[in-house]
Amino acid sequence: MDLKQPVVQVKGIGKARAEELTDLKIYTVEDLLMYFPYRYEDFQVKEITDLKHDERATLEGKVHSEPSLRYFGRKKSRLTVKVLVGKYLVNAVFFNRAFLKKQFSIGQPVTITGKWDQHRLTVTGQHVTFGLQESTDKIEPIYSIKGDWTVKRVRNVVHQTVQQYSQYVKEVLPSDLKVQYKLIDRNKALQWIHMPETHDHLKQARRYFVYEELLLFQLRMQWWRKQEKEKTDGKARHLNETQVQEFIQSLPFPLTGAQQRVTNEILNDIQSKFRMNRLLQGDVGSGKTIVAAISMYALVTARMQSALMVPTEILAEQHYESLKQLFDDMDIEVEILTSSVKGKRRALVLERVADGSIDLLVGTHALIQDDVQFDNLGLVITDEQHRFGVNQRKVFRQKGITPDVLFMTATPIPRTLAISAFGDMDVSTIDEMPAGRKPIETYWAKHGMLERVLSFILKELENGRQAYVICPLIEESDKMDFQNAVDVHSQLQLYFTDYNVGLMHGRLHVEEKEEMMTKFSRNEVQILVSTTVVEVGVNVPNATIMVVYDAERFGLSQLHQLRGRVGRGDAQSYCILIADPKTDVGKERMQIMTETNDGFELSQRDLELRGPGDFFGKKQSGLPVFKVADLVHDYRALEVARQDASAMVNSTAFWEDQKYEPLRSWLLEQIEHWEELD
């Protein structure tokens, strides 16, 4: 039976209804079978002590008192009745259901389903049944709807399709994997995900489709990764390992264990015949820059050039100065190329890059302009790589060069997201901080404590230090009552009359931002009021205070990035979060920030609080949208699927053995689709 046939083949679906189903992007029988519920109504009765605040709950009890009915507004009503549930007296509230009043009588058994308020012991009823129930272990699937479709109509259509066609659903997974992971058959999983009779049915169905979905995704990712590795004309670099080790030994500080580990991973990649495509992630201050410097030095020993690309001119200047200082007494040429490098100087830099005189070139996106031609480029390092578009990174390939590529980021990415968003890369993680680094002290202050915060800033300024003050908005907004940079700048100018208060935000031109950051880095400006444009890579060791207004507006990872702007010198640094959060999540976020400085722990907590889409920003996340799998909760399954997929695509058996035929066919279909897109 061909499941790719149009939906009109399903009993009860005519041409008109088939046309309506296109609103839901359903065109074939298979589309209907795979149109999974996005959640389930759970009518299982639980003990009150097992309920969570704000969850949907079903309670059984007896009516304890006469219901009271109040009207408000036009035709709006609120019906309240007290129900004895076990030893707890619960308020059951029904809005605009006045007709129910006559149906309640004292002592009568009732079953109520609705939203549970743990603090007020109140259930806002959505369903109520009267009398003793035979079974309340009922699970109803809820489907996404559009247009004239209702959940009930979609449910009926899908269930009809499952009953008619599920027997024809083909297995995708090899039987040995199903046995290994104790997975049910695919057609049974399909029946149970749409029509679960018990919670165990739903659990088993979900286990099957979580693994299948993640395995298919990882198969595609691992095949792509294999292709990228094998098709690129990678060249094994012949490094002078003795010189590299001598350079590492000559550094004024020993590498941490994590730095040594990731350095070895990068050097092994550079010396392999495949082109490196690696993500290096590490917390602010973990020492990514020195790892990058060692990698670039290794290329010098192989008589090849390196390029370091960063998002801003000021960051390029800082990297340029630190690399020049590091290689000061060596025969290594370091140069910078940004939009500020013009005229004769630019022409000379281009000439020296082209003839191989320059070993290390640091710059902004100016590095990938047409007139920049390298003599023998072996390594490209991109700092804060998520700031650069994919197309910019392809430019090197279009120039006919296939250098090793290392992306660096100071945004700690949870492993599940790294595997998903950067699955075609190898990931190296520096998860250890250098010894002796003073942790930044973080405090949560309410708005009413602002005077104390300002006094604290003043003391630091009197000791010659500087401060960042971050606000979520640029100008006043009627819709959102949050502090904004323009107002805060004016207020702080009045308070700190003996100091220069600067203002920076996203509406300034690039040159204006650069100028303000330069003034701040030179201590010509003591307090910098800014929106989050200050977030990426500016090194001002003299800045010891980071104040964030309305901190509940920011995610944990963003707050951690902002906090990382201070603590770069020898002096003790502080981060003060000014917030009056109204929600439990907002309060928890502030609490977590004061408890840990570990960026990886914070990123995992952020992922749990906000979800994967919000972690990167939904538009630029690059994350796949899964029907069943959840990157936060199914991280173990993702890891297993990745290992299984990698083993498959790299084995001869996968491409020849009959048991892999369904997976192989699916993957070849995907490959054909990609080639058409190309």
pLDDT in tens, 408-424: 887 777 766 766 666 66
Query: What angle is formed at CA 409 by the lines to CA 467 and CA 424, rounded to 5 degrees?
Result: 165
Asked if residue 619 has pLDDT above 50, the reply is no
When mean pLDDT is compared across 61-75, 138-152, 531-545, 561-575, the lowest value belongs to 531-545
**Percent of the chain having pLDDT more than 70?**
88
> pTM here?
0.66
| pLDDT band, residue 615 (cuts 50/70/90) | low
Query: Mean of the pLDDT values across residues 72-101?
Result: 91
Higher pLDDT, 235 or 461: 461
Closest CA to 106 of 81, 79, 123: 81
Please tell me the distance from the alpha carbon of residue 409 to that of residue 432, in angstroms, as a whole number: 15
Please give the average per-residue pLDDT across 170-190, as a whole number: 94
Separation CA 173–CA 171 (nearest Å): 6
**Nearest one of 383, 481, 420, 389 to 611, comparing CA atoms:** 420
392 has pLDDT over 60: no
β-bridge partners, 198: none
Instruction: Specify the length of the chain in residues.
Output: 678
Confidence of residue 678 (pLDDT cuts 50, 70, 90): very low
Tally of CA atoms within 13 A in the half-sphere of 540 that contains its CB:
31
Does residue 621 have a pLDDT over 50? no
Residue 676, pLDDT above cutoff 60: no
The tens digit of pLDDT for each residue in 552-574 reads 988 887 888 889 888 888 899 99
Q: What is the token pair recorded at 222?
A: 């691992």
Decide if 428 contacts 265 (C-beta within 8 A): yes
Task: Give the least confident one: 168-177, 346-355, 641-650, 664-673.
Answer: 664-673
More confident call, 310 vs 474: 310
pLDDT confidence of residue 54: 85
Contacts of residues 249-258 at CB distance under 8 Å and 24 or more positions apart, as own/partner, are 251/290, 253/434, 255/287, 255/290, 256/286, 256/287, 256/430, 256/432, 256/433, 256/434, 256/435, 257/432, 258/282, 258/286, 258/429, 258/430, 258/431, 258/432
CA-closest candidate to residue 563, choices 573, 572, 550:
573
Q: What is the pLDDT of residue 505?
A: 80
Which is it for the CA torsion 501, 505, 511, 517, positive or negative? positive
Distance CA 414, CA 558 (A): 14
**Whole-number pLDDT of residue 400:** 59
pLDDT number for residue 500: 96
Does 620 have pLDDT greater than 50? no
CA–CA distance, 19 with 6 (Å, rounded to integer): 11
For residue 25, count other CB atoms closer than 10 A to its CB: 9
pLDDT digits (tens, 9 = 90+) for 285-318: 788 999 999 999 999 999 999 999 988 787 888 8
Contact 160, 21 (CB under 8 A): no
**Residue 393 confidence (pLDDT) above 60:** no
With a CB cutoff of 8 Å and minimum separation 6, the contacts of 3 are 28, 29, 30, 33, 165, 168, 169
Q: Which of 262-266, 540-544, 609-613 has the lowest mean pLDDT?
A: 609-613
pLDDT range class, residue 396, cuts 50, 70, 90: low
Instruction: Give the pLDDT of residue 136.
Output: 55
Least confident residue range of 6-10, 205-209, 531-535:
531-535
Rounded to whole angstroms, the Cα distance separating 531 from 508 reads 11
105-135 per-position pLDDT tens digit:
999 999 998 999 988 899 999 888 887 665 5
The model's confidence at residue 663, banded by pLDDT at 50, 70 and 90, is very high
In this predicted structure, which of 119-128, 209-218, 327-336, 385-394 has the lowest mean pLDDT?
A: 385-394
> What pLDDT does residue 387 have?
44
**Which pLDDT does position 389 carry in this prediction?**
44
**Percentage of the chain exceeding pLDDT 90:** 45
Structure tokens that stand for 654 in this block: 């996968």
Q: Are 650 and 229 in contact (CB under 8 A)?
A: no
Average pLDDT taken over every residue of the chain: 86
Question: For the stretch 267-304, what's the b/e string if a residue is b when 16 or more beta carbons lie within 10 angstroms of its beta carbon?
Answer: bebbbeebbbbbbbbbbbbbbbbbbbbbbbbbbbbbeb
pLDDT in tens, 181-233: 999 999 999 999 999 988 899 999 999 999 999 999 889 888 887 877 776 55
Q: Which of 157-166, 261-270, 306-315, 365-374 has the highest mean pLDDT?
A: 261-270
> What's residue 9's pLDDT?
87
- Model confidence at 337, pLDDT cuts 50, 70, 90, reads very high
614 confidence band (pLDDT: 50, 70, 90): low
State yes or no: pLDDT of 486 exceeds 80.
yes
